[in-house]
Amino acid sequence: MAADFDETGRRQIGAVVGNAGTTEFTFILQQFQARVGDIVMLDMAVPDGAYRGQASIYVWARITDIRRFNPFFPFEAARELADEGIALEDTVLSDARDQLEAVCLILGATPENRFAALSPLTYPVKPASPVYRPPAAAVRELLVGGREHEVKAPLGSLIARSDVEVALSAPRLVSRHLAILAMTGGGKTVAARRIVRELIGHGYPLLILDPHGDYVGLVKCRELLRQEAPGCEIRLFFPDLLMQQAGGDLIEKIVGQMTDGLSEPQADYLRSAFAGLPANEGEPAIAYIERLFEWIVKELKDSDDHHRTPTMRAVGRSLGIVHDRLVRMRWTSETMRRSTKLGGLPFEPLPNPFTRPEDIVRPGQVSILYLGGYDHITQCSIAAITLETLFEFRANLTGRIAPFLTVIEEAHTFIPSAREGTQSAVSLPVVRRVITEGRKFGTGLMLISQRPSRLDETIVSQCNSFLILRLVNPRDQTFVRAVMENLTESDARMIPGFGPGQGIVSGQVVRFPLHIRVKMDEDLLAAEIGDEDFFAEAASWASGGDAATPEQGVAVAAENGQDARQTPAERIAGTMTDKLSAPQSASDRLLKALDGEDLNPLIEFLITEYGRSAGARKRAEGVMNLLQGASDADVCAQFGVQPGSLRGWVKWAVEAQRKIAAAK
Amino acid sequence: MRAPHIQRRMLKAAGDLSAPAQLRFRETLERLAAQLRRALLETGGIIRIEKDHAALWKSVSGQAIGFVDGGLANLPMLGSAPVAARVEGYTVTPGARGAEREKFFVLKRLIDQLYAYDEEGVFEDAFPDVGALRDAARIAIGAAGAVRMLAEQRGPAWVFLRGALVNPVLRFTDAMRDGQVRRRFPDFSDTALADFLPPQEPAREGRGRRFLSVHLRQLQFLEEAQAVVCGVVERESAAVSACRAVLDGLADAPLRDLFPESPREWKNRFRNAVDPSGEDDLAGRRITDSLLFHCVLEPGEALLPVPVNRNELRRAAERRRDVIGRYPTPRVSYLQVTEWNAPLRLEMFSKDLGRFRETTALVMHCALLLPRHAFPSGMDVAERVPNRWSRPLDAHAAARAMRQTLQRNDTRLFDALRLMLCAFEREFLLRPGVYR
């Protein structure tokens, strides 16, 4: 059909039918003239402000649904065609009379000459009004009306109109928080990279928490990005878990989560230990735990409070486990950074956020915090400490660091919902604080998740803007409906049907909800790290590959005097558990069994045993040593017995004590 | 009886009879149907059409097929009397793709506009039989749809009219009293003649402008066309004319061995049984063609066409016999498409009898596609469009609008308003050009 444009460049595409209101209307659409998501307009006369005359306005609306049916093609005809395997076009049935009924959500009304002044429609749309497809320039003016001078972050175009660009309001984006929610493959990383690229172009400081390495590849596009933003820096950091001076709660939570949990006396003891040996600000957690462990070992030795020693040892063992896990994770992280996937990338240690925050947050710099290799508890802890520390620098108004935007990828890890165990994520209260107060201090958040239903609803609902791409999981869809106030039912129904990169953007970053197609930055594809090729790895493995053989590993370890079957973490952790192996010793068992009893009669009895026989003397002397805290190894070496003999000695001594007590 | 659904129809036909009479009706129908089927099978009066969509649609691929549906329209808020006549046309080329595959047209006129009164307005010079005026308008405008279709440069290979091909027309003449013309049947207006007749038709004067002459010309044009023109009636009527024509056409020789009585006696008995107007119990309980052939024919079977003259010369007024005598006698057949539907009545011109089988096959396969909708092409489906799109104007508003236009003394505006108000829902769908 030839395009019939009027003098303003718009084209009539249908007419309003049915009951029209101030929020929505329906119109019969000519074929092939508009799609869902398209913005349409119509002319209207409304009462003027003084109710003395009429004012001419434009009503703007977005098509939210289009229904199509062919009344000439009833069900029985369809069944006959299907049964017979014939095509409709080969019969006399009509194929051209199908009806298009478009449902529109009214966006608002503007004066005829100023599209920027969008206001709510307060007078119903007139039935039979012609509906127009406006020219692209008019739609663009509508989209940016009143925000012409704002810094923009172009994101893509309208789904229905590739000639109308959609740009987000950058100031609102960086201060009022944005959530990007989409299933895997929905295009959330592409959208996030698009936004990140625009913010890089504006030199805005960015901190990206990247658990899976989705953004580390950006460093490969450094030169490209520098052409757009001269001087910009893309820095890859690997973090270490650091301590805060007031980090008693943190260490308690970590110990509680990484182990089977702490009893109340154990938690009390840990708190007292932290108070007795406070952490230094920014001190690596592994180093601090080692210090704390030594402190507890020393306390154990010095303590004559037998009632408390089991608690102390339990805390010590827990610290050993935490230490072990942290060391393992650090080792895993190192290994991952050295892998073929990430091996060539310029990783550097994360600067201490307590002492060098300006090295992390700096205008023109993107700091990508690669959290790969750490479990989610540690990732949460690292994120919490880093984010809270940086936030404090903004909140205390010292001017130490610039405002910045934090991109939290895999946000469900950091802000899990109550169902996921809210109390376990130390990052949750930190993110909650940042999202609540961030607007004041210029610490915006961009939350990205593929499982919205696993996110903390309170936090997500405080995001002022949303970019919703394809979501199929019903729970995720329900969640999105719950947190997005202005999501219409028809929009919600579209969410599972979006293609990659298609979605709805709404909130303060745009004037009204829009159906958008996110622009794919082809030139950033180099930033894709991609998945490992396990087939290739397996093939290379079979032919030898680069992997060291077990024999080679044993030889190298042996040269270093180490057990080759142990990882570095295991070796370190081994030394700590050795120190705490005493509770399992014969001495400990003996002392525990006799805890609180008067030992003098037993010692007198042992002395009498000295003269009875050589064997009795050896046993009595060995038990005396055990009562004085000698280790199993020392006793076995001194008396030339096996550790199993010590169990018999302990049993004999305890029975003797019982008999003495009974005789008294 | 072949199936319970026929019993349902039988009960419907004889539902208000006494129980013994119902029983007799049922027995009579069963016996007659069985006998007639035997006779027709013996004489080759029944043909079988095999259902084969693939072959049928392949055989008509690339050939345009037209469907015409005429009727009357009224203004619901002012009563049920029709005020307009309309015809809709649908031409489709099976196997074709693209915008040219289908064509639609709608023609609608106020009945007043179709007749040329000395003084404008039907109420100014009313013909006493207003019903005849309306029926004549309906018949003429329906045929006009087919004329219009066939007059096109590349007309269709088949044209199917919804309704009879040749209607009884004897009543559409002057109103007489005591052998004198009391009211003259009105001439068609220039507008109507332009709509109804083929293009380039010479101007008409006098009686040539009246229905009988105009419709005769329409039928002649349809008969002369190369296309097969076929009327299809899916509604049941009280007619028994096809049964009579079948009996008249049955040769006696093959029947002699079939029934104990002579063929003549059997036929007489059959005629009386079908139309038992002489019996008290069954007075008025005719076994209609539709019911009889529903029992006679199996799905996929059709009656070979028989001539049924609906405009017998002997009944025509002497001065109109020259015209009536030229009205064609259609060939009538019944086609049983499915066991659940009443048989379709097909009417064709005698010149198209050579293409009866392929035409019947085409009708059957069309009807199989839309078993619950009106033939020809289910255009009545369009009437089921959601009312919200074309809900009739509120009666109060319509009355106000009409009063206002009357007060302006603008008869054209008044007519335009009436035409608009008696719009059918289907017109919205059939209006050309609105979709593309």
**What is the helix, strand, coil percentage profile of chain B, to 5?**
45, 15, 40
What would the mean pLDDT of A474-497 be, rounded to a whole number? 88
Report the C-alpha gap between A290 and A271 in whole angstroms.
16
Predicted pLDDT at B36: 95
Highest mean pLDDT among A5-9, A174-178, A562-566, B345-349: B345-349
The answer to the question of residue B141 being in a domain is: yes
> What does DSSP assign to residue A88?
G
What would the mean pLDDT of B258-274 be, rounded to a whole number? 90
Residues on chain A touching B160 (C-beta within 8 angstroms): none
Bridge partners of residue A46, in order along the sequence: A55
Report the C-alpha gap between B164 and B69 in whole angstroms.
11
Least confident of A345-349, A443-447, B20-24, B292-296: B20-24
Q: Which of B61, B96, B389 faces A17 most closely, judged by CB atoms?
A: B389
Beta carbons within 8 Å of A487's beta carbon, 6+ residues apart: A468, A480, A481, A504, A506, A513
Angle made by CA atoms B341, B342, B344, in degrees to the nearest 5? 110
What would the mean pLDDT of B160-164 be, rounded to a whole number? 92
The answer to the question of residue B289 being in a domain is: no
Predicted pLDDT at B139: 95
Cβ neighbours, 10 Å, residue B238: 11
Highest mean pLDDT among A250-254, A294-298, A588-592: A294-298
Q: Which of A85, A89, A98 faces B95 most closely, judged by CB atoms?
A: A89
Q: Is A76 on the interface with B (CB under 8 A)?
A: yes
Predicted pLDDT at A516: 93
Report the C-alpha gap between A519 and A505 in whole angstroms.
13
The answer to the question of residue B435 being in a domain is: no
Report the C-alpha gap between B143 and B347 in whole angstroms.
14
Question: Using the beta-carbon criterion (under 8 Å), do B372 and A91 form an inter-chain contact?
Answer: no
Q: Which of B65, B429, B434 faces A71 most closely, judged by CB atoms?
A: B429
pLDDT level of residue A567 (50, 70, 90 thresholds) = very low
pLDDT level of residue A554 (50, 70, 90 thresholds) = very low
Is it the case that residue A562 has pLDDT exceeding 70?
A: no
Half-sphere exposure of A205 (CA within 13 A, CB side): 16
Predicted pLDDT at A578: 56
Q: What percent of chain A has pLDDT over 90?
A: 32
State yes or no: cis peptide before B392, omega within 30 of 0. Answer: no
Q: Is B91 on the interface with A (CB under 8 A)?
A: no
> Token pair for residue A55?
């004012």
What would the mean pLDDT of A468-494 be, rounded to a whole number? 88
Question: Using the beta-carbon criterion (under 8 Å), do B389 and A91 form an inter-chain contact?
Answer: no
Predicted pLDDT at B13: 61
- Is residue A367 left, alpha or beta, with left meaning phi > 0 and alpha meaning psi from -120 to 50? beta
Question: Could you tell me if A514 and A504 are in contact, meaning their C-beta atoms sit under 8 angstroms apart?
Answer: yes
Q: Which of B58, B369, B435 faces A93 most closely, judged by CB atoms?
A: B369
State the total domains in chain B.
1
**Of A630 and A90, the one with more pLDDT:** A90
Q: Which of A28, A76, A89 faces B371 most closely, judged by CB atoms?
A: A76
Residues on chain A touching B381 (C-beta within 8 angstroms): 71-72, 74
Mark which residues 378-407 of B lie under 8 Å from A by CB. Answer: 378-379, 381-382, 384-385, 388-389
Residue A534, exposed/middle/buried by CB under 10 A (0-12, 13-18, 19+)?
Answer: exposed
Q: What is the pLDDT of residues B325-368, one digit of tens each?
A: 999 999 999 999 988 888 999 999 999 999 999 999 999 999 99
Is it the case that residue A545 has pLDDT exceeding 70?
A: no
Predicted pLDDT at A556: 38
Is it the case that residue A544 has pLDDT exceeding 50?
A: no
Q: What percent of chain A has pLDDT over 70?
A: 91
Is it the case that residue B108 has pLDDT exceeding 60?
A: yes
Predicted pLDDT at A548: 41
Measured between CA atoms, the residue of chain A closest to residue B66 is A92
> How far is B224 from chain A, CA to nearest CA, in Å?
24
Q: What percent of chain B has pLDDT over 90?
A: 43
Cβ neighbours, 10 Å, residue A79: 12
pLDDT level of residue A4 (50, 70, 90 thresholds) = low
Report the C-alpha gap between A366 and A523 in whole angstroms.
18
Going from the N-terminus, what domains does chain A have, and what CATH number goes with each? 11-144 (no CATH), 152-239+350-526 (3.40.50.300), 248-332 (no CATH), 584-663 (no CATH)
Q: Which of A1, A77, A92 faces B92 most closely, judged by CB atoms?
A: A92
Highest mean pLDDT among A252-261, A548-557, A600-609, B261-270: B261-270
Residues on chain A touching B388 (C-beta within 8 angstroms): 17-19
The mean pLDDT value of chain A amounts to 84
Q: What is the pLDDT of residues A570-627, one digit of tens each?
A: 544 455 555 555 446 788 788 878 877 778 888 888 888 877 888 888 888 888 888 8
Name the pTM for this structure.
Answer: 0.65
Is it the case that residue B241 has pLDDT exceeding 80?
A: yes
Question: Could you tell me if B429 and A94 are in contact, meaning their C-beta atoms sit under 8 angstroms apart?
Answer: no
What would the mean pLDDT of B81-88 be, rounded to a whole number? 82
Which of A551, A532, A233 minimizes the C-alpha distance to A368?
A233
Question: Could you tell me if A15 and A7 are in contact, meaning their C-beta atoms sit under 8 angstroms apart?
Answer: no
Question: Using the beta-carbon criterion (under 8 Å), do B97 and A91 form an inter-chain contact?
Answer: no
pLDDT level of residue A2 (50, 70, 90 thresholds) = very low
The answer to the question of residue B15 being in a domain is: no
Residues on chain B touching A81 (C-beta within 8 angstroms): 369
Q: What is the pLDDT of residues A530-539, one digit of tens each?
A: 666 777 778 7
What would the mean pLDDT of B151-160 be, rounded to a whole number? 90
- Strand A443-449 and strand A178-181: pairing? parallel
pLDDT level of residue B4 (50, 70, 90 thresholds) = low
Task: Tell me if residue A540 falls in helix, strand or coil.
Answer: helix
Question: Using the beta-carbon criterion (under 8 Å), do B57 and A91 form an inter-chain contact?
Answer: yes
Report the C-alpha gap between A181 and A476 in whole angstroms.
9
State chain B's maximal CA–CA distance in angstroms. 78
Measured between CA atoms, the residue of chain A closest to residue B64 is A92
Is it the case that residue A564 has pLDDT exceeding 60?
A: no
Task: Tell me if residue B133 falls in helix, strand or coil.
Answer: helix
Predicted pLDDT at B383: 55
Cβ neighbours, 10 Å, residue A373: 20
The answer to the question of residue B186 being in a domain is: yes
Beta carbons within 8 Å of A256's beta carbon, 6+ residues apart: A262, A267
Is it the case that residue A168 has pLDDT exceeding 60?
A: yes
What would the mean pLDDT of B363-390 be, rounded to a whole number? 67
Is it the case that residue B434 has pLDDT exceeding 50?
A: no
Report the C-alpha gap between A455 and A457 in whole angstroms.
6
Question: Using the beta-carbon criterion (under 8 Å), do A76 and B385 form an inter-chain contact?
Answer: no
Question: Could you tell me if B61 and A90 are in contact, meaning their C-beta atoms sit under 8 angstroms apart?
Answer: yes
Mark which residues 59-78 of B lie under 8 Å from A by CB. Answer: 61, 65, 67
The answer to the question of residue B288 being in a domain is: no
The answer to the question of residue B405 being in a domain is: no
> Token pair for residue A211?
């658990």
pLDDT level of residue A566 (50, 70, 90 thresholds) = very low
**Of A634 and A499, the one with more pLDDT:** A499
The answer to the question of residue B97 being in a domain is: yes
Is it the case that residue B412 has pLDDT exceeding 70?
A: yes
- Per the structure, the complete domain to which residue B98 belongs is given by 53-235+308-387
> How far is B334 from chain A, CA to nearest CA, in Å?
21
Angle (deg, nearest 10), helices B289-296 and B4-14: 160
The mean pLDDT value of chain B amounts to 83
Question: Using the beta-carbon criterion (under 8 Å), do A17 and B96 form an inter-chain contact?
Answer: no
Is it the case that residue A90 has pLDDT exceeding 90?
A: yes
Question: Could you tell me if B431 and A30 are in contact, meaning their C-beta atoms sit under 8 angstroms apart?
Answer: no
